Structure 1
Amino acid sequence: MSTPAGWYPDPSRQAQLRWWDGERWTEHTHTPAPAPGPGLDLRKDTPGTGDPWQHGQQHGQHRPYPTYGAYGDPAAGRSSARALATPDGQPLGNLGLRLLARIVDWVLVSVIATLAGWSLVQRMVRSMDDTLTAAVAGDPTASLRLLEDPGFNAALSSFTFVLIAVSAAYTVLPLRFYGATPGKALFGLRVRPWERPGHPTWGQSILRWLTSDLAVQLFWPYAVLDYLWPTWDRRKQALHDKPGGTVVVRRRR
């Protein structure tokens, strides 16, 4: 049986712990390491040299190290479907707070886009008001004329462009420079790469927007699957997290 993922004494420096991802050592370290119990041989608790918990259990000890980033309970030799934190120990974000953050971001983007394209909104409202008046007067073709109205269609196309541009700026720039949109920051959430701490790169920020907000604009049913995906994903990633390898975490205090 392979050694489960977890923090173990660093083979190169036993004063600290190093993250073992289940197959190999990573660059993630954790200090200070808890002092081992009496009779605990660190060499026997190192991945690649046998069962990391067997020696401690022989002495009636419980697992002595934290399990950040682990799947399930390594002490029991099992893996579950969900991670609790990133490899370096930052807890993953709560799904309920993530949904609230998305709602806040959506409202703010809509308000900003409406203000930026106010003249276009007025043109669409006038066209819809004329259509409603004609429909109330008994004109059965009023709704069809609205869809064929070049003025309405031009205003709708232009406003859609404004909405996409606002969404891109609102999402990509804060992610790249602050690691969070205003909605996520409000609820103490951050976006970061899974493998390392820090803000997403330009590529990760753009990919996250392309596969989220833009994809929803082009095909709205995608939003349902995208929003539900974290409920069963091992790292609580949405579909728009997958291309860039990002995750949503709780802000460090």
Structure 2
Amino acid sequence: MDDTNQLEYVGFWLRVWASIIDTVLVLAITTPLLLAIYGRERLAAGITFSGFANFLISYVFPAVAVLLFWSFRQATPGKMAISARIVDARTGGPTSVGQNIIRYLGYFPSTFVFCLGLIWVGLDKRKQGWHDKLAGTVVVRPKRGNVEPVRFEA
């Protein structure tokens, strides 16, 4: 990729902001659906945790949506809002479907032990969380300041 010195790694707080945007969007879609199916009282009582519709709406739909956004746009709406995209850490090219699945599943171990795998983004030189390291990805955006540019191996 020839625009590598025009890119920078996206750090912890920008990625938190992108996650908040994505969470609000997912809730804006899933909550009305769950309310329509289960009603306010059952939803508030937590009865839906064992429901099949809840499983589809709360877990399957968001996972499929995220994987589709990553595959076709290299970013979720939250990452798009901050001009970020997910790329292969070695080449800077688009990620594969396999990388996207590993990255998504990598969020689970990243949240174990006080979310250390997510906090790692703020500590790592390339701003990679454990999910990024597992999948071989980095999150980049157009360079905005005097920061070290992104470097890819190939």
TM-score (norm 1): 0.49
Q: Name whichever structure is richer in helix by fraction.
A: 2
Relative to structure 1, is the Cα distance of residues 104 and 223 closer, same or farther in structure 2, using a 3 angstrom cutoff? Answer: farther
Asked which structure has the greater CA Rg, the reply is 1
Question: How many Å apart are 1:189 and its aligned residue?
Answer: 0.8
Task: Report the alpha carbon displacement of residue 221 of structure 1 after superposing the two structures with TM.
Answer: 4.7
The 1:109–1:222 alpha-carbon spacing in structure 2 relative to 1, beyond 3 Å, is: farther
State whether structure 2 residue 114 is matched by structure 1 residue 210.
no
2:41 equivalent in structure 1: 126
Match of 1:112 in 2: 29
Displacement of 1:128: 7.0
Conservation of the 8 A alpha-carbon contact between 1:190 and 1:251: no
Per-residue deviation, residues 140-191 of structure 1 (Å, max 9, x unmatched): xxxxxx78xxxx2xx2223144211122122111111111100000011111
Secondary structure, counterpart of 2:87 in structure 1: strand
Q: Percent identity?
A: 30
Evaluate the alpha carbon distance shift between residue 94 and residue 128 of structure 1 in structure 2; reply closer, same or farther with a 3 A threshold.
Answer: closer
Q: Does the aligned pair in 2 maintain the 1:179–1:198 contact within 8 Å?
A: no
Pick aligned residue for 2:115 from 224, 231, 243: 224
Structure 1 residues not aligned, in runs of 5+: 1-27, 31-87, 130-145
CA displacement at 1:222 relative to structure 2: 5.0
Q: 1:176 to 1:105 in 2, by over 3 A?
A: same
* Residue aligning to 1:242: 133
1:116 offset after TM fit, Å? 3.2
Aligned-partner residue type, residue 245 of structure 1: G
Distance 1:115 1:102 in 2: 20
8 Å contact 1:177–1:199 — kept in the other structure?
A: no
So what's the TM-score if we normalise by structure 2? 0.76
| Counterpart secondary structure, 2:135 | coil
Structure 2 regions of 5+ residues with no counterpart?
A: 145-154
- The reply to whether residue 179 of structure 1 matches residue 96 of structure 2 is no
How far apart, in 2, do the equivalents of 1:171 and 1:187 lie?
16
Q: Per-residue displacement from partner, 1:185-240 (whole Å, max 9, x unpaired)?
A: 0011111011112221101111111122xx28xx9655622321111123210111
